[in-house]
Amino acid sequence: NSKVIQTPRYLVKGQGQKAKMRCIPEKGHPVVFWYQQNKNNEFKFLINFQNQEVLQQIDMTEKRFSAECPSNSPCSLEIQSSEAGDSALYLCASSLRGGSNERLFFGHGTKLSVL
Amino acid sequence: AQKVTQTQTSISVVEKTTVTMDCVYETRDSSYFLFWYKQTASGEIVFLIRQDSYKKENATVGHYSLNFQKPKSSIGLIITATQIEDSAVYFCAMREGNYNQGKLIFGQGTKLSIKP
């Protein structure tokens, strides 16, 4: 059973609406990733954090996506103005720091449908 | 730019046989890490096995093993004695070694169906 908790499991929004999803990483995991998986199973990396700091992120030129991992609160990913093309499964994963234990533990995802 | 390619869209085999799934990758880095993950029908994604590029020995975990051919930039996943529960989509992924905790790049996935 996944110890990375994502809420909500399903999210339905109209175009132009905000969509916000949350993730609680596995306890003791300082690194958090967000991926978007489309209907063709393709993974698209969005952003990752170590503790509260952004490590890498894609060029969110449209500025519609924002994410944070505040201390002592769930991480979140928010789409400011949803578009039909944003419909996908949003996956949160957490990890220990590098070394032989490095691997991703995924949550069940938030399935976003933009109508 | 790094790239991971899985050319087999789907594979179907009979239970208890051995199956191999292919994966090739592109990277300019001399150090990198390769992973295989499995996504079940329920959507759960589980780590299976990893290969560090500097290791010559093929990794083995349970009934999963890897066929790492570095000159060919290839990392095949071998599942022996397949079971019905192995039916899933399998993803190959790579992280370049020059950025600790960097992003993984995933392949397109191979859907494995195990028949009784």
Dist. CA B113–CA A92, nearest whole Å: 26
- Reported as a single tens digit per residue, the pLDDT across A50-79 is 988 988 888 764 578 999 999 889 999 999
User: Which chain A residues are within 8 Å of B3, Cβ to Cβ?
Assistant: none
* C-alpha distance from residue B43 to each of A50, A110, B3, B6, B18 (Å): 25, 11, 24, 19, 24
Dist. CA A17–CA A13, nearest whole Å: 6
pLDDT less than 50: residues of chain B? none
Task: Please state whether the peptide bond connecting residue A8 to the residue before it is cis, i.e. omega within 30 degrees of 0.
Answer: yes
Q: How far is B44 from chain A (nearest CA, A)?
A: 6
Average pLDDT in the A85-106 region? 89
Dist. CA B15–CA A66, nearest whole Å: 45
- Reported as a single tens digit per residue, the pLDDT across A19-56 is 999 999 999 899 999 999 999 999 999 999 998 898 88
State the pLDDT at residue B112.
98
The residues with which B25 forms a beta bridge, in sequence order, are B4
- Reported as a single tens digit per residue, the pLDDT across A93-102 is 999 876 777 8
State the pLDDT at residue A61.
45
- For B103, nearest residue in chain A (alpha carbons): A45
State the pLDDT at residue A1.
60
